[in-house]
A and B are shown apart, each in its own frame.
Chain A
Amino acid sequence: MDWGKVRFFLGEVLRNFTRNASMQATAIGTVAITIVLLGLFLFVRAALAGMGAHLLDQIEISAYLANDATAAQVTSIRHLLAADPRVASADFVSKKQGLTELRDRTKGVIDTALLTENPLPDKFRIKVRVPEEVPAVAASVRRLRGVQNVVYGQTIVQRLLQLGVVLRRVGIGVIIVFLAVAGIIISNTIRLTVFARRREIAIMQLVGATNLYIRIPFICEGLLDGLAGSLLAVAILAIARATLWPKLLEALPWIQLNVTALNPGVLVAELVLVGGAVGVVASWISVGRHLRT
């Protein structure tokens, strides 16, 4: 190992990096902002996916029974549901049980003590294995004798999921635009340092340095920009996670935020990798452009 060579090389990279400090700061800042947005986007996407899965999981059909339904009808419905392969579970919820659940759910919001009688009918709570089959199951249940009404929240769930898809697409578009912007700014930064060092590059070419040798310090510079920016972004995200996240949970208790699927280690690795890659690609392109002319 030729340590003198290594020292020379690192010295050159460091000299470059510190020479144009304000430009480097701009590049690093842009990368940081982009990566923060990317991180937020990945986070929101995970949250939406979690929310969607949670909602899908919660889809259930309520088959309300007629008040005059006979015990035989109830038993027959129970058997039919148990025999249906599409049905995951079917629980009988009596009027009384229904009211208790309602009381629990609306505690502090609606005073159910005001109710003089129980307005709820008996019902079956049906869970379907595949969400897409909910409408078909609901339709067949509605035809059963003793069933008065069938309710399920399919429409709203569908809309939520569609919203998720739309958000995801828009998010990807936004991220692509921001990565492109970060790439352009890094490549401009590198172009400025290339310009500042054009004499040096000319001399390198004159004495017979290969293009790779000329390129490497600039690539390292781009890599440093990208890595510094993404590490800064990760720090910002970590701080936000620690300070804003609990407040968000507190402020929006009704949102089922489930981001346990998001592995923080993997996320950090992804973000840093993206940052570094943007830096390398951008600097490779801008030095290449200079070397070709």
Chain B
Amino acid sequence: MNTATTIDDALGASAATSPSAGFSPSATGSTSSPATASPAPAEASVTTTRIATPAMTPAPRKRSFKLSRKLRQRTLSAIAIVSMFALWELACIVFNISGLILPRPSAIFAVLLEKGPLLWPHAVQTLYTTVTGFAFGVLAGVVLGMIIGSSRFAYDVAYPLLVGFSSIPKVAVVPIFVVWFGAGTVPAILTSMVICTFPVVVNVATGLAHTEPELQDVLKVLGARKLDILWNVGLPHALPYLFASLKIAITLAFVGTVLAETVAANKGIGNVMIIASGNFDVPLVFAGLFILAAMGIMLYVVSSLVEQRVTGWAARGNEVAMG
């Protein structure tokens, strides 16, 4: 009951503020329940700062409210997505834009459906390349980050090198990989690996370097070895930093893969897109874009789910103590 009214008023609110009020499927919802809509937003503004921390809701009343808040957020973002497509479609029709320049979303979805079986292996190839490159990149990043972060000397020596290396545009690296390994999957994996290593290195090193010295002292006094401190204090402390970088790295890995695929590959979404654009098959290019976006979101969600599981303590760490 509670959730139902808040969804309604969420929809209503968005319909009222959205410039494309006519598109919202529930514009009627806002007018049907004006009385219930007014108190909810006021309460919402009070609790907005608390929603992110699940352990902070002692009263069950607040809990149910938080749920509806989440639902409201989801509904709003779903509406945003749908209305973006609707606007796009409408703009194409109203301004009579040629399908060669900006195909309508409906046309793109039609292509996706029609050529789905054909595109599928390419999507799998891109996903495989990205995930492999990402895995290697993260592994390399964690190892390098651990070395750099746990030794002042290694930091001083390696950091300038690393910065220099990471500031090379990765497009420029692809031809070198092609010369070394030939066109195909390997250069793509390497490109995505190289591109996603840097943020991981920097974050892991930062996480290790920012470990409280007092914490280390407590272990040092016990006679802990350097490896003990790294394992028991440094690495867990660096985990939230690592996961923050994973979310960046996974999207970068896609960039690397598609980059390499467009330059030198015979498979993969990047390759499909470059061929399609050569044939002026613009809807297919956009279909490729959609597939990339979908896969990117998917992997992002996966990595943030893993993050929540592994480092949930970090999100609650800055909460107020009970006494």
Q: Is B a genuine binding partner of A?
A: no
